[in-house]
Structure formats: C-alpha cells, structure tokens
Amino acid sequence: MAKISYQFDYDKKPGRSDNGRLRRLIIFCALTVLVVAGFFFFRPRPTSTSETENPSASDKTSTAMPSSVTQQTPSMPVTQSVPVEAADLIQKLEKQTMAAQQSRDYVEVRKKCLQILSTGKVPAGSETWDRVVKMLGEANIKILMSDLPFPEKKEVYTVKRNDALQRIARDFNTTVGVIQASNGMSPDNYIIRIGQTLRIYRGDWRIVVSKSDRRLCLYDGNELFKCYFIGIGRQNRTPVGSFSITSKIKNPDWYSPEGVIPFGSKDNVLGTRWLRLQPTGDTDKALTGYGIHGTWKADSIGKELSNGCVRMFNAEVEELFSIVPYRTPVVIKE
C-alpha cells in the first residue's frame, strides 16, 4: 500500500511563512494605492475660478449669436444677477413680453421691455438684461421698419408741393431709408405725390459706445432702442469723448497709410458701411479719421484689434446706417 505523507504549516521550512506574509502585505499596499488613486481620479470636480471669471480684453472670445448673417457674439463682462426680491416681478413681465412677441404685438413687447428696464432691478450686462434688451431691439426695428401704427412716435404726414424725401427726412430727424421701409416703398423709389400720406417715425437719436462693455447702444431720447456688440482699437487706441456723424458712405474705399484700397478688396478693413466721427464740444479736435464701420472679420467683434475705429458686424452696421441721420451725436466712454 502506498504511503501517504501529510505536510502541515509547522512542517514548512524556516522562512517560508515570512515570505507569504510579505507577499500579502505587498498585495494589500498595491490595492490601497489603486483605491486611493481611483477616488481622486473619479471624484466630482468643482469648476475652477479661472473658468468663470471675466477674461482679459486680449483673451476675449466669441460665441454664437442669432442674426441675419452668420455672426459671433463676444463674451461680455459678467455682472450681478437680478436681486431676489425683484426676480418674481421680472419673471412675470418676461413671460408677458414673450407672449406678446409670439403674437407679434411689437408695441406691447416694447412697452413691457421698457417696463422691466425701468424697474432699476436688472443690472446692465446681466443675463436677464441681455435677453430683455435683445427683445426690445427686435421689437423696435419691427416698428420702425414697417407700417405698424405707433402714435407715440409715428406721425402721419401729407406730402405737399415741392416736397422731397430728403427734406422730409431732415425735418423729422430720420433717414430716407426708414421712410421708404415704413411705407412699403422700395429702396430705389424716391417718387412721392402731392396728397400722399406717409407714416414717419420722428427720432431723437443718440449713440453711446462703451469700450469696457464692447457695446454700442442706440437711444431714442432717453429710451434705449437697441444695442450692438462691437470691436475697438488695440492698445487703447479708440478715443473717448463726444462726436457727431458727419459722413455716411456705402461700400467705402479705405484710405490707408499705404494708399487707397477699394471696396471689395480683401485688404479693405471697413466692411460695407462707414460712418465718420467728428469731434464736438471739448473733445480734442485733432481726433480725426475715426469712425464706425463694418468688418469682414466677424471674430474681431468683442476684441481690441482695430486701429481705433469702432467695428460692427456688417449686417448690423448696415442697419444702424439706415437708422441714424447726419449729425447724430455719439459719446464714446471707457
């Protein structure tokens, strides 16, 4: 019969049990390191401060913005939100505004938007302020550029002998383009007849440019009409002060230091419109050659890249160009 032998732990050779304990200790340490590493790797991570604070002027980037053309909206300085005690009121008014917008009651949209802004509870540049101002601007353009009746600002004018659109526009502080649009006339139609009635918007236009906010805001009297995003001059080249629009040119040539660069050239930086700024009041009269113009480089809006002029998206400078008449005052501030 075969002899069967047994071997127990106490039969092992000296040192073998110590090696087993060492192996178990090594395995335990390795598992511990893996668990700790996994905890730190997969734990939820809070948003870093650098991702939420305002970018410097040179680091400003752009995000998408609805428009009639493909455009980008620069990131703007973040301000405080609407105070809690006013939030319910603002939310209620916003709902009423959006309901009016859906029904295309643009006069009501304008009324509600101005009511929200007049509360003084919506900080300029806040998310709510941006939404309200966007709706306000869209409603105002609809009213201005159509035959919608608006007794507060639009007057019914009867054409008289020797009248011309240019003279009527000058008398009402508006432009021929606005008169044509608000009366269903084509842009190339300058013919008016004696006895013809025209709806004409009497404007009290002024422009305020904020370099720090990268915004150009158009006012009708003391009421905000519409705001546009802009680009400004690098190295603080955009001057501050008071100005007046003294020249308006469609499809402008650029008189650069290297010579005249015609409209349509890839080297022409002026875009589709040019509005010349002339210093007024106490502003240094030597500040000439500045203006508001379009740009072919949409990604320059919101940044400091120009030689000192105020840049706008082409579609938006065309809109502004059609609204403001000669001698419209412009204030540029820090």
Q: Quickly list DSSP for 171-230.
A: HTT--HHHHHHHTT--TT-----TT-EEEEE---EEEEEETTTTEEEEEETTEEEEEEE-
Q: What residue type is assigned to position 100 of the chain?
A: A
Average pLDDT over residues 269-280: 96
pLDDT digits (tens, 9 = 90+) for 199-221: 999 999 999 999 999 999 999 99
CA 148, CA 130: separation in Å to the nearest integer?
25
Known catalytic membership, residue 227 = no
Among 162, 205, 161, 168, residue whose Cα is nearest residue 185:
168
Average pLDDT over residues 130-150: 93
Average pLDDT over residues 67-96: 60
Range of the domain at 125: 82-144
Are residues 267 and 309 both part of a single domain?
yes
Are residues 232 and 280 both part of a single domain?
yes
User: Final residue of a domain: which of 163, 185, 201?
Assistant: 201
CA 72, CA 75: separation in Å to the nearest integer?
9
Are residues 125 and 164 both part of a single domain?
no
Helix axes 106-118, 127-144, angle to 10 degrees: 140
pLDDT digits (tens, 9 = 90+) for 297-312: 999 999 999 999 999 9
Average pLDDT over residues 136-144: 95
CA trace torsion 24, 28, 29, 31 (10° rounding): 140
Assigned token pair, 101: 């917008």
Give the model's pLDDT for residue 166.
96
Average pLDDT over residues 234-258: 94
Are residues 293 and 242 both part of a single domain?
yes
Please check whether residue 81 is in contact with residue 126, taking contact to mean a CB–CB distance below 8 angstroms.
yes
Categorize the per-residue pLDDT at 59 as very low, low, confident or very high, splitting at 50, 70 and 90. Answer: very low
Backbone dihedral region for residue 30 (phi beyond 0: left; psi -120 to 50: alpha; all else: beta): alpha
Known catalytic membership, residue 293 = yes
Q: What residue type is assigned to position 62 of the chain?
A: S
Helices and strands in the chain: count of H runs, count of E runs: 7, 16
Please check whether residue 289 is in contact with residue 171, taking contact to mean a CB–CB distance below 8 angstroms.
no
Are residues 180 and 223 both part of a single domain?
no
Assigned token pair, 2: 């075969």
Are residues 213 and 303 both part of a single domain?
yes
Give the number of domains in the chain. Answer: 3
Helix (H/G/I), strand (E/B), else coil: 246: strand
Categorize the per-residue pLDDT at 101 as very low, low, confident or very high, splitting at 50, 70 and 90. Answer: confident
Are residues 169 and 216 both part of a single domain?
no
Are residues 86 and 178 both part of a single domain?
no
CA 317, CA 230: separation in Å to the nearest integer?
10
**254 lies in a domain?**
yes
Supply the CATH number for residue 186's domain: 3.10.350.10
CA 193, CA 252: separation in Å to the nearest integer?
33
CA trace torsion 190, 192, 198, 200 (10° rounding): 40
CA 123, CA 146: separation in Å to the nearest integer?
31
Q: Is it the case that residue 258 has pLDDT exceeding 70? A: yes
**55 lies in a domain?**
no
130 CB-near residues (< 8 Å, 6+ apart)? 76
Are residues 215 and 306 both part of a single domain?
yes
pTM over 0.85: no
Are residues 181 and 276 both part of a single domain?
no
Are residues 235 and 128 both part of a single domain?
no
Among 141-145, 183-187, 265-269, the least confident range: 265-269
pLDDT digits (tens, 9 = 90+) for 287-299: 999 999 999 999 9
